[in-house]
Structure 1
Amino acid sequence: MDAVPDADVDITDALVRRLLASQHPDLAGLPLERADNGWDNVVYRLGDRLGVRLPRRGAAHRPLLNELRWLPFLAPRLPLPVPAAARRGRPAPGYPYHWAVVPWFEGRSAALARPGERDAYAAQLAGFLRALHVPAPGDAPRSPVRGVPLALRAESLAARLATGRLPQGDTLRAVFAEGTRAPLHRGPALWLHGDPHPHNMVVHPAAAGAPARLAAVVDFGDLTAGDPASDLAAAWLHFTARGRSVFRAALADGSGRPRHDDDAWLRARGWAVHLGAVMALLPADDPLHAVGRHALRQVVEECGSAVSGLG
């Protein structure tokens, strides 16, 4: 379950060189190195300061177009760097999708850091989401799988729990069910990152004894508008109980009042179960496998038999 989908197109070094030479010839001579072959995109490092992001399947094309349109609008409003395109690429012979040249951010994936290390940037991530989570315009993109009522993900979670590969399945079901019973999001649809898990955060390599700091937030392929609860699930994906406490406190508005009520956090914890299950069933060598396992452990440790319906 949840193997990386097959690509629609074979993205090779030679193909990327051809695309650059024909559309951005001033960049074509820079060193080029494949950096990541992800779920939706292939990413190359281009020279010291740039990257090339290319959809590897048709389902990833529309999300990239959303990034190309909206990230330049959002970037100036956000307290951390994001990969707003420096150059745009068009479909060409041998490659059917738009693509982008983006900034390259030095650092490492936060998924490779220990959860206790990630606690150090809890307030920083909260500040980023606080700035992002504002009312979105009516023509903002909408996702069928993020920012939507949690109950729409029930069938997906049930299939994953049915594999028997996830521990404490009864507890996870109860936590998820509690989230689905919480009242739905009221008010305007807010801008959401859509997938703010640790592998989409770049952290500065910490010096000995120095706390981890976020250098950038990347991969806005799931950029959408809706209920912020799916983004708030980051509290369990990234942090320990200590970090979650800091994260929640730092989300308060300027007067110190919480921006999200208890119902939003119940939905968020349900999202953490769903997203944690998705990631935990990835292959063990995928960085998100450990992230998912961590999130599910955090939920179980936090809730235990106190969750409504566990008895």
Structure 2
Amino acid sequence: MTGYASVTFAGAQSHNSAATAAPATGSFSVDVRSVNSRFLDAVLRLPDELRHLEPALRERLTRQLKRGKVELRVDTRSADPSSSPLPQAPASEVLGRLSHLESAVRGWLPQAQPLSVMDVLQLTRQPNRTPLRDDDVLACADQALAALREARAREGERLADSLRERTAGLRALVTQARPLVPQIVQRQQARFIERWHQALAQASQTEGSAATVDASQASDRALAEAAALALRIDVAEELDRLSVHLDEIDRQLAQGGDLGKRLDFLIQELHREANTLGSKSSALDSTAIAIDMKVLIEQMREQVQNIE
């Protein structure tokens, strides 16, 4: 499922009773985003100074999330450029050494450009970002993952409502198909027996009086073949299984929890029954119902791949 969460840590004063002026910890942000995926694919993007936290962060992520392509990013850059302090003026001895180096370089390379003020500031810049505490980073990561789970839960509720709408649509199609089954069977049996008798009449006329056909045996054979045809085209069992699978899907949605794999299996069963219904169909109305079922089931399949 998709989702996004972000937690910003603005920096805090370090608690150190032994120091009169305790240094402040640096600010950072933790962003977590996820997109749809059938399996969990976790990517962590951390600054070099926090690489040692990757196992702990990955363990937290895999413990709380089961599906989705998830990216967790820790950004130590300041979100507000105006909050960044101006660079400190370099010390005079540093400027002296830099001037000496520039003179030496230009002695060998007279065409070299002189140093600008920006060049001097960049070369003499001291890191002004305060250190980060591991506990602060992990705590913010926990908050971001909790917020992401809440966002994914809200999306999961919307997906569950959409799935319930489609199970209701499939139930309506099952209800629509049930009264058609005996009508289709009777119609196909009558058509089969009629064509059977027509074939017997044509055979008798073609072979003449020498080829006599026992009427009772022909009738019994026709009825047996008609019964076999009825078994082949009867889809009452498929409709019953469709109803059972739909009931189970609704039960799983009401129960909640980690449903992805169970719903995947149930959708496959729905698709199998709808395919059988379509293959056995011998009338346009039942074929149309089977097609409508497949459309709804395919929509459910796409949604189930996103739900956790």
TM-score normalised by the shorter chain: which range applies? under 0.3
- What TM-score, normalized by structure 1, do the two folds share? 0.20
More helix by share: 2
Which of these two proteins has the greater Rg computed from alpha carbons? 2
